[in-house]
Amino acid sequence: MMLTVTRTSDTILATRLRLHQEIMKDKFASRKTPHITAFGRRLPPEMQLKPPNKKEFKNWLHCNVPERLQSMAEVWQGITHLKYVFV
């Protein structure tokens, strides 16, 4: 499926959609068993396939952001006293 992007907001949405899809892939991959053997022998470390940690995707899906940072109040209160000076 080819996704065409026409505006900047579409680009942001497409990026977020793709990121969400990759997180969901990790979620389903975390249920699989690790593949460390083949043909009765242990694979070298670089060829072993180990699924992601089961708790990894939860950190991406559930983000706890304080209310002051969501509204950007913390940021704006910290920089309102700054003055712009031409040199």
Along the 87 residues of the chain, how does pLDDT read in single tens digits? 455 555 666 777 788 888 888 888 888 888 888 889 999 999 999 999 888 787 776 777 776 777 777 777 777 776 766 777 666
Task: Determine the pLDDT at residue 39.
Answer: 92
User: Phi and psi (nearest 5°) for 71?
Assistant: -85, -5
DSSP summary character for residue 13: H
Contact 48, 14 (CB under 8 A): no
What is residue 37's three-state secondary structure? strand
Q: What is the pTM of this model?
A: 0.48
User: What tokens appear for 8 in the block?
Assistant: 């900047």
